[in-house]
Amino acid sequence: MENYFIASVCLTDQIGCVRAKHLLNYFGSGKAIWSAPRDALEKTNLQKNIINLFTHFRRLHPHCPEQLKEYCEKRKIKLCSIYDSNYPEILKSLPDAPVLLYYKGELRPNDPRIAIVGTRHPTKLGLKTAQQFGEEIARTGITVVSGAAFGIDMAAHEGAMKTGRTVAILGEGLEAVMSYEKRKFLERVIENGAVITEYSPNTPATKGTFPQRNRIIAGLSVGVVVVEAGEGSGAMNTAQHAANYGKLTFAVPGSIYEEKSKGCHELIRDGVILARSAADVIEDCKFNIDFDSLNPYLSLNFHDDAVPSNSTSTPKSIIKPIAQLKPKTESITLPNLEGAEEAIFNIIPTSKSISTEEISARLDTLELSDIMSTLLNLEMKDLINEESPGNYIRS
């Protein structure tokens, strides 16, 4: 129940991580803060207007802790505080660590994690790279962290779910996700890891919540990989947080003519590590990861042509470099498609785009999560393009 008292205090406008920690250090518990008389609150050196906001909120919602607990339990939302044993240790040392984490799924506080982030509007090569990095990093037993945004983030999550575990960090509350597609996607993430946020269940996303979300992505991870990012983008913000926290930061290079690679090139020029492959990332992060508790990655078959487990080759030889992912320039012969791929490809037009909602309506026998995954696979095969978010057309 203690965490719900803390959460209720934090529901007050202008009481964030720093002020909540200050109050907790003074009173010793969330329950004591919630029941503290005004004169005791005034002795904390908290500004008068903040005390007014808190006492007014408490007066309007006297049963907030009990009601919040009931609400979360009904929706299977779990809650941990920075004082709990299941709070990720790697976050605790951060100066701006969140006091609370709301989550669904399995938290696994001690698992090693690597973040993969990037633009919401990637190139096909960027999508393919993010998915491959996610797949190969997760195969080692490392958890892949990202922000669940359309584009690079979702591709990284998709790749990770093929071989292992992934964690999505939200910039909104768990019950505030508006997009049906994203909600269905997050259900799959929960089954293969966890969805985490510091925001109360119905907190909507705003322009200011995403930079806050980005610090958690960086803070949870031993390293952050930027696949594609424009200058001044959210992914660049995550990289900045990683640098501030002393985390290993990587950037995947791209064409000098591609706008979506400018951020990565800026990072490389500023001294972050150039990532040619997932093996580069794993190799450099291995000193911060206890591989004894994971599958030794030298023995894993990343590809059919991977070196045997008893090989003395370096890890970088077992993963195809990014250069080999470049699309071929020769004409493409459409492969024989089957099942969901065939059904979806057949209804995607060549003259104008079709929305995911329309595809779902026309193929009501398929789950939306299966449609989303199949669309991504078709895009990876260069058979369709995402003309705008959620709208597809044949290549």
What CATH number did the domain enclosing 353 receive? 1.10.10
Q: Judge residue 319's burial from the number of C-beta atoms within 10 Å of its C-beta, 0-12 exposed, 13-18 middle, 19 or more buried.
A: buried
Tokens at 14, concatenated: 């202008």
Q: Confirm whether 44 is domain-assigned.
A: yes
Number of Cβ within 10 Å of residue 256's Cβ equals 8
Q: Confirm whether 357 is domain-assigned.
A: yes
If asked whether residues 302 and 376 sit together in one domain, one would say no
Q: Angle 124-139/152-163 helices, nearest 10 degrees?
A: 30
Closest CA to 276 of 305, 249, 253: 253
What CATH number did the domain enclosing 167 receive? 3.40.50.450
Tokens at 76, concatenated: 């299977």
Q: How far apart are CA 94 and CA 81, in angstroms?
A: 14
If asked whether residues 198 and 298 sit together in one domain, one would say yes
Number of Cβ within 10 Å of residue 304's Cβ equals 5
Number of Cβ within 10 Å of residue 253's Cβ equals 15
If asked whether residues 27 and 157 sit together in one domain, one would say no
Last residue of a domain, one of 267, 292, 323: 323
Number of Cβ within 10 Å of residue 205's Cβ equals 17
Q: How far apart are CA 227 and CA 229, in angstroms?
A: 7
Q: Confirm whether 378 is domain-assigned.
A: yes
Question: Across-strand partners of 105?
Answer: 194
Given this model, what pLDDT does residue 110 score?
92
Q: How far apart are CA 6 and CA 375, in angstroms?
A: 42
Q: How far apart are CA 142 and CA 139, in angstroms?
A: 7
Q: What is the pLDDT along the chain (395 residues), one digit of tens a residue?
A: 999 999 999 999 989 888 999 999 999 999 999 999 999 999 998 999 999 999 999 999 999 999 999 999 999 999 999 999 999 999 998 888 999 999 999 999 999 999 999 999 999 999 999 999 999 999 999 999 999 999 999 999 999 999 999 999 999 999 999 889 999 999 999 999 999 999 999 999 998 899 999 999 999 999 999 999 988 888 999 999 999 999 999 999 999 999 999 999 999 999 999 999 999 999 999 877 765 555 443 333 333 333 333 333 333 322 233 233 233 333 345 567 878 888 898 888 877 788 887 888 778 777 777 788 888 888 877 788 887 777 888 87
Given this model, what pLDDT does residue 330 score?
36
Q: Confirm whether 106 is domain-assigned.
A: no
Judge whether 105 and 265 are in contact, CB under 8 Å: no
Distance of CA 296 to the CA centre of its chain: 25
Tokens at 115, concatenated: 């973040």
If asked whether residues 274 and 343 sit together in one domain, one would say no
If asked whether residues 132 and 233 sit together in one domain, one would say yes
If asked whether residues 310 and 356 sit together in one domain, one would say no
Given this model, what pLDDT does residue 50 score?
94
Judge whether 90 and 220 are in contact, CB under 8 Å: yes
E strand map for the chain: 78-81, 100-105, 113-117, 143-146, 166-169, 193-197, 223-226, 248-251, 273-274, 354-355, 384-388, 391-394
Question: Across-strand partners of 1?
Answer: none
Q: Confirm whether 243 is domain-assigned.
A: yes
Last residue of a domain, one of 298, 323, 348: 323
If asked whether residues 278 and 365 sit together in one domain, one would say no
Phi then psi for residue 99, to 5 deg, are: -70, -35
Number of Cβ within 10 Å of residue 283's Cβ equals 15
Last residue of a domain, one of 27, 57, 74: 74
If asked whether residues 25 and 159 sit together in one domain, one would say no
Single pTM value for the model = 0.76
If asked whether residues 147 and 213 sit together in one domain, one would say yes
The amino acid present at 249, given as its one-letter code, is T
Q: How far apart are CA 219 and CA 17, in angstroms?
A: 15
Given this model, what pLDDT does residue 311 score?
31
If asked whether residues 127 and 243 sit together in one domain, one would say yes
Range of the domain at 246: 113-323
End-to-end CA distance of the chain, in Å? 54
Q: Confirm whether 103 is domain-assigned.
A: no
Given this model, what pLDDT does residue 314 score?
31
Domain total of the chain = 3
Q: Confirm whether 300 is domain-assigned.
A: yes
Q: Confirm whether 79 is domain-assigned.
A: no
Given this model, what pLDDT does residue 318 score?
25
**What is the enclosing helix (H) or strand (E) of 334?**
none
| DSSP label of 100 | E
If asked whether residues 211 and 120 sit together in one domain, one would say yes
If asked whether residues 64 and 121 sit together in one domain, one would say no
